Protein backbone atom coordinates (compact mmCIF):
# COMPACT_ATOMS: atom_id res chain seq x y z
CA UNK A 1 0.00 0.00 0.00
CA UNK A 2 1.42 3.41 -0.82
CA UNK A 3 0.80 6.77 0.69
CA UNK A 4 -1.80 8.63 -1.37
CA UNK A 5 -2.10 11.93 0.49
CA UNK A 6 0.32 14.18 2.36
CA UNK A 7 0.03 13.79 6.10
CA UNK A 8 -1.57 17.21 6.61
CA UNK A 9 -4.41 16.21 4.31
CA UNK A 10 -5.09 13.12 6.38
CA UNK A 11 -5.78 15.05 9.55
CA UNK A 12 -8.74 17.38 9.89
CA UNK A 13 -8.24 18.85 13.35
CA UNK A 14 -11.27 21.13 12.97
CA UNK A 15 -13.65 18.23 12.49
CA UNK A 16 -11.62 15.80 14.55
CA UNK A 17 -11.20 13.31 11.71
CA UNK A 18 -8.12 11.34 10.68
CA UNK A 19 -7.59 8.82 7.90
CA UNK A 20 -7.14 5.21 8.93
CA UNK A 21 -4.34 4.97 6.38
CA UNK A 22 -2.15 6.65 8.97
CA UNK A 23 -2.22 3.42 10.98
CA UNK A 24 -1.47 0.98 8.17
CA UNK A 25 0.82 2.77 5.73
CA UNK A 26 4.30 1.14 5.57
CA UNK A 27 5.67 4.50 4.44
CA UNK A 28 4.38 6.27 7.52
CA UNK A 29 5.71 3.47 9.67
CA UNK A 30 9.15 3.82 8.09
CA UNK A 31 9.05 7.59 8.58
CA UNK A 32 8.01 7.16 12.18
CA UNK A 33 10.90 4.78 12.81
CA UNK A 34 13.36 7.25 11.30
CA UNK A 35 11.99 10.56 12.51
CA UNK A 36 10.17 9.77 15.71
CA UNK A 37 11.45 6.59 17.34
CA UNK A 38 15.09 7.61 16.92
CA UNK A 39 14.55 11.13 18.29
CA UNK A 40 12.12 10.79 21.13
CA UNK A 41 12.07 9.47 24.65
CA UNK A 42 10.52 6.04 24.42
CA UNK A 43 8.52 4.24 27.04
CA UNK A 44 10.16 0.85 27.61
CA UNK A 45 8.33 -0.49 30.65
CA UNK A 46 7.36 -0.04 34.25
CA UNK A 47 9.39 -0.60 37.39
CA UNK A 48 6.76 -3.01 38.69
CA UNK A 49 7.82 -5.39 35.89
CA UNK A 50 11.30 -5.61 37.42
CA UNK A 51 10.56 -5.21 41.10
CA UNK A 52 13.30 -7.55 42.42
CA UNK A 53 17.08 -7.62 41.77
CA UNK A 54 17.72 -9.81 38.75
CA UNK A 55 14.27 -9.24 37.24
CA UNK A 56 14.30 -8.48 33.53
CA UNK A 57 11.80 -7.71 30.81
CA UNK A 58 12.53 -7.59 27.10
CA UNK A 59 11.07 -4.51 25.48
CA UNK A 60 11.56 -2.57 22.25
CA UNK A 61 12.79 0.83 21.14
CA UNK A 62 11.38 1.11 17.66
CA UNK A 63 12.61 -2.05 15.97
CA UNK A 64 15.44 -2.55 18.44
CA UNK A 65 15.15 -5.23 21.11
CA UNK A 66 16.23 -3.95 24.55
CA UNK A 67 16.57 -5.53 27.98
CA UNK A 68 15.04 -3.66 30.88
CA UNK A 69 16.53 -5.07 34.06
CA UNK A 70 17.26 -4.42 37.72
CA UNK A 71 20.79 -5.29 38.77
CA UNK A 72 21.85 -6.98 41.99
CA UNK A 73 22.17 -3.59 43.71
CA UNK A 74 18.67 -2.54 42.66
CA UNK A 75 19.70 -0.16 39.87
CA UNK A 76 17.56 -0.04 36.72
CA UNK A 77 19.23 -0.48 33.31
CA UNK A 78 18.19 -0.64 29.68
CA UNK A 79 20.63 -2.50 27.40
CA UNK A 80 20.60 -3.23 23.71
CA UNK A 81 19.76 -6.91 23.45
CA UNK A 82 22.82 -7.60 21.36
CA UNK A 83 25.92 -9.58 22.27
CA UNK A 84 29.22 -7.72 22.06
CA UNK A 85 30.82 -10.75 20.42
CA UNK A 86 28.89 -11.18 17.18
CA UNK A 87 25.64 -9.39 17.78
CA UNK A 88 23.40 -12.34 18.64
CA UNK A 89 20.31 -11.57 20.71
CA UNK A 90 21.59 -12.21 24.23
CA UNK A 91 18.26 -12.68 25.96
CA UNK A 92 15.75 -14.97 24.22
CA UNK A 93 13.13 -14.87 26.97
CA UNK A 94 10.38 -12.30 27.35
CA UNK A 95 10.86 -11.82 31.08
CA UNK A 96 12.19 -13.55 34.17
CA UNK A 97 14.84 -13.37 36.87
CA UNK A 98 18.51 -14.13 36.43
CA UNK A 99 21.96 -13.42 37.75
CA UNK A 100 23.56 -13.73 34.30
CA UNK A 101 22.54 -13.22 30.70
CA UNK A 102 24.21 -15.98 28.69
CA UNK A 103 24.43 -15.54 24.96
CA UNK A 104 23.12 -18.66 23.19
CA UNK A 105 25.72 -18.45 20.42
CA UNK A 106 29.15 -18.82 22.07
CA UNK A 107 28.12 -18.42 25.71
CA UNK A 108 29.59 -15.06 26.56
CA UNK A 109 27.83 -14.09 29.78
CA UNK A 110 26.91 -10.72 31.23
CA UNK A 111 25.95 -9.70 34.76
CA UNK A 112 22.72 -7.79 35.35
CA UNK A 113 24.61 -4.50 35.35
CA UNK A 114 25.80 -5.32 31.83
CA UNK A 115 29.40 -6.27 32.59
CA UNK A 116 30.99 -9.02 30.52
CA UNK A 117 31.79 -11.82 32.93
CA UNK A 118 32.33 -15.13 31.20
CA UNK A 119 34.22 -15.78 27.96
CA UNK A 120 34.66 -19.48 27.17
CA UNK A 121 38.21 -20.47 26.25
CA UNK A 122 39.36 -17.04 27.34
CA UNK A 123 43.04 -17.95 27.55
CA UNK A 124 43.33 -20.07 24.45
CA UNK A 125 41.20 -17.89 22.16
CA UNK A 126 42.13 -14.46 23.43
CA UNK A 127 45.50 -15.21 25.00
CA UNK A 128 44.19 -13.61 28.16
CA UNK A 129 44.42 -10.11 26.68
CA UNK A 130 40.73 -9.39 26.04
CA UNK A 131 39.77 -6.63 28.45
CA UNK A 132 36.32 -7.59 29.70
CA UNK A 133 35.65 -4.07 30.98
CA UNK A 134 35.58 -2.81 27.39
CA UNK A 135 32.94 -5.27 26.24
CA UNK A 136 29.93 -4.64 28.45
CA UNK A 137 26.45 -4.69 26.99
CA UNK A 138 25.62 -1.36 25.37
CA UNK A 139 23.45 0.71 27.67
CA UNK A 140 21.12 3.40 26.35
CA UNK A 141 22.70 6.84 26.74
CA UNK A 142 19.78 8.29 28.69
CA UNK A 143 17.41 6.62 31.08
CA UNK A 144 14.71 8.31 33.11
CA UNK A 145 12.24 7.06 35.70
CA UNK A 146 8.97 8.88 36.15
CA UNK A 147 6.50 7.65 38.77
CA UNK A 148 7.50 4.08 38.07
CA UNK A 149 7.54 4.39 34.28
CA UNK A 150 10.87 3.77 32.55
CA UNK A 151 11.94 5.88 29.56
CA UNK A 152 14.98 5.58 27.35
CA UNK A 153 16.56 7.83 24.78
CA UNK A 154 19.01 6.85 22.05
CA UNK A 155 21.17 9.91 22.35
CA UNK A 156 22.52 12.10 25.10
CA UNK A 157 19.89 14.73 25.87
CA UNK A 158 19.35 17.49 28.41
CA UNK A 159 15.59 17.12 28.28
CA UNK A 160 13.75 14.62 30.39
CA UNK A 161 10.44 12.94 29.61
CA UNK A 162 8.66 14.43 32.63
CA UNK A 163 9.20 17.95 31.32
CA UNK A 164 8.46 16.96 27.72
CA UNK A 165 5.42 14.75 28.12
CA UNK A 166 3.95 15.30 31.57
CA UNK A 167 3.21 17.82 34.23
CA UNK A 168 2.48 20.63 31.82
CA UNK A 169 -0.19 22.08 33.98
CA UNK A 170 -0.82 25.37 32.17
CA UNK A 171 -3.53 23.74 30.12
CA UNK A 172 -4.53 21.23 32.69
CA UNK A 173 -2.78 18.01 31.73
CA UNK A 174 -2.55 15.54 34.61
CA UNK A 175 -0.96 12.31 33.51
CA UNK A 176 -0.17 10.43 36.67
CA UNK A 177 -1.44 10.93 40.16
CA UNK A 178 0.57 10.18 43.28
CA UNK A 179 -0.85 6.69 43.97
CA UNK A 180 0.89 5.79 40.71
CA UNK A 181 4.07 5.72 42.76
CA UNK A 182 2.81 2.47 44.24
CA UNK A 183 2.66 1.07 40.71
CA UNK A 184 -1.08 0.88 40.46
CA UNK A 185 -4.08 3.16 40.35
CA UNK A 186 -5.02 5.78 37.85
CA UNK A 187 -2.97 6.43 34.81
CA UNK A 188 -4.31 9.38 33.00
CA UNK A 189 -6.80 12.05 33.75
CA UNK A 190 -7.42 13.52 30.34
CA UNK A 191 -11.10 14.00 29.48
CA UNK A 192 -12.54 11.30 27.19
CA UNK A 193 -12.05 12.07 23.52
CA UNK A 194 -9.35 14.65 24.14
CA UNK A 195 -5.90 14.41 22.65
CA UNK A 196 -3.21 13.38 25.08
CA UNK A 197 -0.21 15.30 23.81
CA UNK A 198 0.00 18.97 22.86
CA UNK A 199 2.98 21.07 21.90
CA UNK A 200 4.14 23.62 24.46
CA UNK A 201 1.65 26.45 24.64
CA UNK A 202 -1.07 24.58 22.79
CA UNK A 203 -4.39 23.99 24.40
CA UNK A 204 -5.33 20.45 25.35
CA UNK A 205 -8.89 21.23 24.32
CA UNK A 206 -9.16 19.41 21.03
CA UNK A 207 -12.25 17.84 19.50
CA UNK A 208 -12.64 14.07 19.82
CA UNK A 209 -10.77 12.26 17.07
CA UNK A 210 -12.54 9.80 14.80
CA UNK A 211 -10.98 7.40 12.34
CA UNK A 212 -12.58 7.28 8.92
Residue 56, H or E segment: strand 55-61
By CB under 6 A, residue 110 contacts ligand FES = no
By CB under 6 A, residue 187 contacts ligand FES = no
CA atoms of 131 and 135, how far apart (whole Å): 7
By CB under 6 A, residue 132 contacts ligand FES = no
Choices 18-26, 28-36, 98-106, 177-185 (CB under 6 A): range interacting with ligand FES? 98-106
* 3-class SS string, 68-90: EEECCCCCEEEEECCCCCCCCCC
- C-alpha distances out from residue 79 to 31, 50, 94, 139, 211, Å: 24, 14, 14, 4, 36
Query: Nearest approach, Cβ of 100 to ligand FES (angstroms)?
Result: 13
Kindly give the residue spans of alpha helices, DSSP state H, lying in 54-192: 122-126, 161-165
By CB under 6 A, residue 108 contacts ligand FES = yes
- Exactly one of 3, 29, 85, 132 binds ligand FES (CB under 6 A); that residue is 85
- Exactly one of 66, 103, 116, 175 binds ligand FES (CB under 6 A); that residue is 103
Q: Binding residues for ligand FES, per CB under 6 A?
A: 83, 85-86, 88, 103, 105-108
Amino acid sequence: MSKTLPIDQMIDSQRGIISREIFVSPEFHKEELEKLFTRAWLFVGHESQISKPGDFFVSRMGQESVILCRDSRGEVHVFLNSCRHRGMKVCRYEQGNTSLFVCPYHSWSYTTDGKLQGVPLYRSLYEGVLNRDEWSLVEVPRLSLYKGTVWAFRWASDDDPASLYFERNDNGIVVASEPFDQHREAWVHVPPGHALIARPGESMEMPPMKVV
